[in-house]
Amino acid sequence: MKKVLILLFVLFAMSCNDSEYSKKIIGEWECSSWIETETSRDKCGNNVYFKFENDMTYHSKIGSDDAKGVYRISDGLLYSTPEGKLEIAVEINTLNADTLTFTMSRSGNEEILTLVKKK
């Protein structure tokens, strides 16, 4: 019984966190850093932009690639589905009023992207 209560508490805490994340992610975000952990190289180059809307749609621009689609947050993961493409998931490390940091894997290499909210 104790294990069931602990599991329920963890699930409740995660769902509350997801709800808070869903509110805080709304807005426009610009790249602060994009670190490839294997090489410590910063790939930001001031060319990364995301805009998350209240209706669960988003627009992104990475370099010359524009994308738009839908997103959702579940269990501390940000899932995005660009139009005509497969769903992508990244692990949210930080999401507060002005910073969004997530870990992703591109070509099997860990990368950490930090975005700051536009004012």
CATH of the domain at 79: 2.40.128.540
Do residues 94 and 100 touch, judged by C-beta distance below 8 A? yes
State the total domains in the chain: 1
- Band (pLDDT 50/70/90 cuts) for residue 51 is very high
Do residues 30 and 57 touch, judged by C-beta distance below 8 A? no
pLDDT digit string, tens, across residues 8-22: 344 344 444 788 889
pLDDT for the residue 102:
94
| β-bridge partners, 36 | 41, 111
- How far, in Å, are 25, 54, 117 from residue 28 at the CA level? 9, 12, 6
- How far, in Å, are 12, 23, 25, 82 from residue 33 at the CA level? 32, 23, 18, 22
The two three-digit tokens of residue 28, written as one number:
């426009």
The two three-digit tokens of residue 117, written as one number:
């909210």
Q: What's the chain's average pLDDT?
A: 86
pTM confidence score: 0.82
pLDDT digit string, tens, across residues 27-49: 999 999 999 999 999 989 878 99
Domain extent for 24: 2-117
Closest C-alpha among 84, 102, 86, 104 to residue 94: 102
pLDDT digit string, tens, across residues 88-108: 999 999 999 999 999 998 778
pLDDT for the residue 107:
77
Determine the 3-state secondary structure of 24 from DSSP.
helix
Closest C-alpha among 51, 82, 47 to residue 68: 82
pLDDT for the residue 12:
42
pLDDT digit string, tens, across residues 57-87: 999 998 889 999 999 999 999 999 999 999 9
pLDDT for the residue 18:
83
